[in-house]
Structure formats: structure tokens, C-alpha cells
Structure 1
Amino acid sequence: MAEELSKPEPQAVSADLPLLRIDAVVKTFGGFRAVDRLSLDIGAGEFFALLGPSGCGKTTLLRMLAGFETLDEGRILLNGTDIGPVLPHQRPVNMMFQNYALFPHLTVRDNIAFGLRRARMPRSQIDTRVAEMIALVKLEGLETRKPDQLSGGQKQRVALARSLARRPKVLLLDEPLAALDKKLRESTQLELMEVQRRLGMTFIIVTHDQEEAMTVADRIGVMAAGRLEQVATPRELYEAPGSRWIAEFVGDINLFEGQVASREANRLAVSTNAGMLLAAQPRQPITNTIVAVAIRPEKVKLSRRGPMPDPLNAQAVNRLEGVVTDVGYLGGLTTYKLKLDSGAVLRSSMANTARIDIDAYSAGQRVVAWFTPDDCVVLEQ
């Protein structure tokens, strides 16, 4: 039955307009600006994540989209129509809350049907729609149970089905997986992605979990202090952070302060506290000589003697020597902390490709760390 699930009706959107346009919106609480002139376009059928630390304004923005918070300034356009004045229950938008907000006295079937009955949909259509939703989220056989008879993952599915039942144009998800344990959260992320793909619906998820955002989203908007710091695909965000703040916030990173010593061809030579480092020329021109060089730990290779020199390109590899001070075995990979001869600290993360530890290093062992100029990202701020 799930395979025959009907998709939302095609959304007539002008070719030059996104499905959802957030235009310079502002929300203040007292003297505090929770959202500060934020603008963002989200396309039809996109899975978009709002990522950021607690208090950055991401949930406030989501609540404005749902109509639970009024805008102080700006507009929210859906299909080119300003929905700011539209009441929450009249918007073609639905929201799935972090605590699921299920009705404890209603069964699974009745929880899912609740919004459809409020909309006065004919009973036969309600029965058909509820059956579609139950099949979609794989709750067959649990229709007559009440929320206190369900596991956390099952409650999450009921809440999702109820949110989807009225076929909103945009589904808003506020930390929907926060209450689940790690393994269940990971499997549910994949199920959520599958549901979104099959429906072709626009999903906007708020999360503080970087791994979750990187897993489910087509694009991620990183927020801080009510503003968007960067909007990019997960790969772009990780490999080409737009600022030093983004580089430090998203994933683990080695960051070395330095000064541009020379520029040649497509490379920069940067004198840092770890030593002289060669980095690929950034996409955006570097206008300041004071910079930071960022290297992800998984880009840093370790060996006992270092890479074999290339006679045609002897400067192609950054080579740093030091002593292993800490080792962390994490199953699929091992993390190392090194104290370099310069006194700086460098972290490396290496995949465990062999079952036995023939390639492992131990604390106190002297090693060579190396990485290429293309592994380095030069940041001005």
C-alpha cells in the first residue's frame, strides 16, 4: 500500500521563485533579537536543515514559519503569497513538535485522523488517508494502541504520520529525534529521508546535532545570534567553511594562526605556530595577511618516516614531526593527539583498515604527520 501512496498535488511556483522565501524577518523578545533580518530561499522538494547552538534563533524561526510567533519585520512568502497574516491552522504548513504532542486518550489511528476530522474530510477519505499514513511509517498492527503502549520510536512515527496526513506543502520538524537513543535515531533518520523522497515534500528540520543535519539534509543553514552564517550543502559546509566560526563549529578541526609569507602559482605559504604550511589558494581572494590555516583531522596522515619525497614536486606535502600524546580507539577509526616539535598540538583521525593493530601508534611514539596543500583551508575570520 505504501508504494501506491499519492504525492501532494504539483505546486505551481514561478520559475524564478522558490517555494518558500524568508525575506529579512526580525523577531525580538524585549530587547533581545532572536532572529535578526534573516533571509533564506528554500526550494520545492528540498530537505533543509537549520543547525546551530542553543539560543541561536532556529526554533524561533521555525515557529514563525508555522505561525506560532508573529514577525516584527519582514515577510514569509509561500508560493509567492505572504503568509504572515495567515493563522497557523489555515497555513499549508504543519509542524512536528519535539515532544510529539500526541493525545494520550486517542489511539494511533485517531491521533493520525485528528487533523483530518477537524478539516471535515469525509469519513471514507479519512480512512483511506490514515491507512496510507500507517503504511508509510510502518505502523501496521498498532492502529488501536494508545501512546502509553508505544515505544519512543513508534510515538515518533505516529507524530510524523499525523503531521503528514493533511499533506502540507512544508513540514516543519523541531528536534524530532532528540528523545531517541543513538541507534534508533540513526535508523529513523534514514526512514525520515525515505519518506521525504517518496512524498516529494519540502521538509525543514531544526537540530543542534551536526551529524543528523549532515545525514538528512540537502542543504544546511548554520545560525548564530539570530543570523545565517552560511548556507551550503553538507559537503561544502564541511570542506569549504565560509568563516573561522563555521570551521570550528562544524566537525573537528586543527586550526593554526599564521601570516601569509608568500604567494606563488595557486598556493599560499603561511608561517604558523606549527611551522611553515603550504595551502591551496582559497576560492575567495585573501585580502589580509593575518589568517588561520584549518585542517580536518582525517586529512592528517601519520607514519614513522613520512611520505616518500617526490623529486618532481618536493614541496607538495606539508610535513610536521612530533610525539603522540593521546590515543583514542573508536572502532572504525583511531584518534591521535600529537605534540609537534614546534610546541603546537595536532590531531589526526585514521581509519582502522586492518583488524590487528599493525598500523597503530602508541603514546610516546615519535611520528611524522603529513598532509597536502589541498587539505588546508585558509580563513581570514
Structure 2
Amino acid sequence: MAEDIANIETAAAPVKAAALPELAQPLLRIEGVVKSFGGFRAVDGVSLDIRAGEFFALLGPSGCGKTTLLRMLAGFEAPDEGRILLAGEDIAQALPHQRPVNMMFQNYALFPHLSVRDNIAFGLKRAGMARAEIAARVAEMVALVKLEGLEKRKPDQLSGGQRQRVALARSLARRPQVLLLDEPMAALDKKLRESTQVELMELQRRLGLTFIIVTHDQDEAMTVAGRIGVMQAGRLEQVASPRLLYEEPVSRWIAEFVGDINLFEGEVKTRAMHRLAVTTRDAGELVATEPRRAVVGTKVCVAIRPEKIRLARRGPASDAATGHAINRMEGAILDANYLGGTTIYKVKLDSGPVVRAAVANTARLDTDGYGVGQRVVVWFTPDDCVVLDR
């Protein structure tokens, strides 16, 4: 880790990338990048474009290749195949200090024997910057991350949130074109993590830099990033905005990984315009809106998010807003978990499966809630459904 820091903070000021014509090409282009360790392919043919000034998240489970990809962008690993273009220049084989990129490490990697001021100044000193310029830049970074009055403290005299700010200030001090963040909020408690996410977003907007964050926390990725790339087994499965990723997953794996989902397996029975009738094993016949040309006889999954499922003591026969038929099942409340803003109900359907419904708690008192064992109607509209290949 110390060698990584020295590598990325060493030598002259970062190379200035060529100016980009507006909308001409992405700031960062990854083309068919492959990285193997022995017989294991950690990154398997990833291609991705990231725009200047974008806050981009790489999301995925442990071991999916996201950190390895980040380390290749930083220069700590070289790709076996493919190109990494920054402002049109291939930097795949460039050393860390030869690229206008900096990285904030997961454990912050602060030097315990150095003060806040000296930690922030570390890379500037190694770059040979004049003393007066270093002092001015450090003061600018301290103010930027709100550490005034703490400049003389050592890392062990700081809270977790303050140590994170020092690491962030050190990463920004050399004014990189791209800042890479490796699980930067993993060590923070929930409340501090949420406030830090907001501060990080505001900082990125104010600076106008390109931020790339690696995280396994879906909520974090959807909060801070304008676009998210989801990785699995070294491959990029989907790149989309948080809303599209959640509402229009391209695969069953994405639907199950991002948020909670209810799945009903079945087969397309009929198709009329954009409406599919799907015969399922556990829920009878479901009607789903599907703009793609699903073929009759195709094996599919009908996916419904918990917040799209409605509960009622006597369910409607049709959607009052559109007059269209709805998907309607009956069952009994198996469990109810009150979470403040919502209550998560588990409903055991008469046909056997258990579905999850997230119901907003709009009243202060639980006047409209359902008790365990209570009979309910579960219903949702065709537009609430996403049809996925099995």
C-alpha cells in the first residue's frame, strides 16, 4: 500500500490531458480490457465510456473485478489486453505518476507519523512544488474538506470521518483530472456515511472533476452516481442511470442484485400489442406490459418490485386509473416488519409462494396496517411488471 501511495504521488505535476471538443469523445474510454491472475480472469473484456465531469459508480459483489479495473485505471495493474484512453491518449502502460489520475484508498492509507497538513502535502512535496505553493494548496484543501483547526493533528487523533477527509484532500491536492475512490465510506457508520455521501456529491459538483467510485453498497451507488456500471464475474452486465437500473434491469441477475424483487417463472402464452399473458407455476396467469418482442412459448420471469405490490382487504377487479385488468392473488400476512417510513409485509399466497410488499406508512398511527395471519388481496398492474429472460 505504501508503495502504491508513493507511486501515485511521485514525480512532477500531473500531465495535462489534451482539451476535449465538447461532445466529441468521452474523457475516459476503456476498450476490451482483460486482466488475469494465473488462470483467473478478474476483468474479462470490459468496454466503457466515462464523460468529463461525471460521477460514475462501479457496483458489484466482492470478487467481481471492480477494484482490479480501478487499479488498472490508476496504473497499479497493467491490462493483459485492451486499451485505456484518457482524452484520446492510451495510458494503459503509463506509470501511476505519469497520468492525471489519483486514487483514494479504502483504508485511507494515511501516514501515522505525519500531521494532517503533512499528509495532504505529501504528494506535492514529492512533485517538487515550491514551499509557498504547497502551503497555499494545503490551506485550500483544508478549507475545501472543512478541516480547519485540525492541521497539526496526527491520524490517530482524528475520527473516522475526519481521517476520510484528510485522505480525500490528499487525493485532490494535485488536482487530478480523474479521482478514483475505492470503497471510501466502508468504514463509516450509517449516519456519517449518509452525510458524507451528500458532501462528496456537492464537492464533485463544485470541482467539476470526474469521480469514479467502487462500491458494493447499492444505496451508496444510487445516491452519489449519475450512472452505474454493474459488474459480475469480471464482466460489465449493465450501465445505466440509477432509475433505469432499478426499473429496467436487463437480466434476472441484475434484478435480483439491485434491490428486492419478487419473481414468478412462467411461459409467454399470448401476445397482443405490448401486453403479454404469462402462464406461471405459482401465480396463475399474469399480464405484463412488455415493449420488446417476446415470442409466444418463451420461458420468462415476471419481476415485480415490493413497492409496486399493493395490499387490500378486498382488492379491485381492475385498475381504477386505466380501467385495465390487474394481476390479483389472495393470501395471508406471514410477517410484518415496521421500518419507519415503510412496513415490509411477507404474504404467503394461497398458491404457495411468499411475496414481499413494501407499504408506505402515511399515517402516524398504524390505522391502515395489517396483522400477522390477516387475509389480504395482493395486486399489481401490468405496467408494474418487468419481463426478463429466465
Q: TM class by shorter-chain length? A: over 0.9
1:340-380 CA-partner distances (Å, limit 9, x unpaired): 12112211001111111111101100001111111100001
- Partner Cα distance (2:388, 2:290) in 1: 11
1:154 corresponding residue in structure 2: 162
After superposition, the CA RMSD in angstroms is 1.7
Bigger Cα displacement from structure 2, 16-25 vs 311-320: 311-320
Per-residue deviation, 1:90: 1.7
In 2, distance between residues paired with 1:123 and 1:275? 74
Asked if structure 2 preserves the Cα contact closer than 8 Å seen for 1:93 and 1:172, the reply is yes
Per-residue CA distance 1:181-212 (angstroms, 9 max, x = gap):
11111110111111100000000000000000
Q: Which residue of structure 1 lines up, in the alignment, with residue 290 of structure 2? A: 281
| CA shift in 2, pair 1:11/1:370, >3 Å | farther
Is 1:45 matched up with 2:70?
no
- Once residues 193 and 319 of structure 2 are traced to their aligned partners in structure 1, the CA distance between those partners, rounded to angstroms, is 46
- Return the alpha-carbon distance in structure 1 between the equivalents of residues 184 and 240 of structure 2: 22
Q: Which residue of 1 aligns with 2:232?
A: 224
Check 1:116–1:311 CA distance in 2 against 1; reply closer, same or farther (3 A cut): closer
**Partner of 1:326 in structure 2?**
335
Change (3 A) 1:312 1:92: closer
Residues 189-243 of structure 1, C-alpha deviations (whole Å, 9 max, x = no match)? 1111111000000000000000000000010000001000000000000000001
Structure 1 counterpart of 2:64, from 38, 44, 56: 56
Instruction: Please show how residues 306-345 of structure 1 align to structure 2 within 5 Å.
Output: 306-307=315-316, 309=318, 315-345=324-354
What are structure 1's unaligned runs of at least 5 residues?
Answer: 1-8
Secondary structure of residue in 1 paired with 2:379: strand
Give 1:308 shift.
6.2
1:144 is paired with a residue of what secondary structure?
coil
- Change in 2 beyond 3 A, CA 1:312/1:370: closer
- Whole-Å Cα distance in 2 between the matches of residues 311 and 217 of structure 1? 36
Residue among 197, 202, 211 paired with 2:210: 202
Q: What secondary structure is seen at the aligned counterpart in 2 of 1:358?
A: coil
Q: Find out whether 1:94 has 2:102 as its counterpart.
A: yes
Residue correspondence of structure 1 range 92-131 to structure 2 within 5 A: 92-131=100-139
| CA distance 1:147–1:294, change in 2 (3 Å) | same
Question: What secondary structure does 1:359 align onto?
Answer: coil
The question of whether the paired residues in 1 share the 8 Å contact of 2:331 and 2:348 is answered with yes
**158-167 or 299-308, which moves further after superposition?**
299-308
Cα deviation 1:126-178 (Å, max 9, x = unaligned): 11111111111111111111101000000000000000010101000000000
Change (3 A) 1:70 1:254: same
Deviates more, 1:119-128 or 1:201-210: 119-128
- Spell out, residue by residue over 1:95-117, the C-alpha distance to the aligned partner (whole angstroms, 9 max, x if none): 00001010111111111111111
Give, in whole Å, the separation in 1 of the partners of 2:90 and 2:170. Answer: 26
For residue 365 of structure 1, what is the aligned residue in structure 2? 374
Is the deviation greater in 290-299 or in 81-90? 81-90
1:266 is displaced (CA, Å) by 2.0
Q: What CA distance in whole angstroms lies between the structure 2 residues aligned with 1:281 and 1:87?
A: 48
Structure 1 residues 172-183: aligned runs within 5 Å:
172-183=180-191
Q: Distance in 1 between matches of 2:87 and 2:201?
A: 23
The AA in structure 1 aligned to 2:93 is P
Q: Structure 1: how far apart are the matches of 2:232 and 2:114?
A: 39
- Tell me how far 1:311 sits from its aligned partner: 8.3
Partner secondary structure for residue 158 of structure 1: helix
Q: Is the CA contact (8 Å cut-off) linking 1:286 and 1:380 kept in structure 2?
A: no
Match of 1:298 in 2: 307
1:19/1:310 CA distance change after superposition, 3 Å: closer
Structure 1 residues 356 and 113: CA distance shift in structure 2, 3 A: same
Runs of 4 or more consecutive aligned structure 1 residues displaced over 6 Å after TM superposition: none
TM-score w.r.t. structure 2 length? 0.93
* Residue type of the alignment partner of 1:51: L
How far apart in 1 are the matches of 2:216 and 2:320? 47
Give structure 2 stretches of 5+ with no counterpart. Answer: 1-15
Secondary structure of 2:221's aligned partner: helix
Q: Once the two structures are superposed, what CA deviation does each residue of 1:74-102 show, in whole Å capped at 9, x if it has no partner?
A: 11000000112211112100000001010
Match of 1:4 in 2: none
**1:13 counterpart residue number:** 20
After superposition, the Cα gap between the structure-2 partners of 1:310 and 1:351, relative to the gap in structure 1 and judged at 3 Å, is closer
| Cα distance in 1 between the residues matched to 2:322 and 2:136 | 67
Distance between the aligned counterparts of 1:255 and 1:96, measured in 2?
39
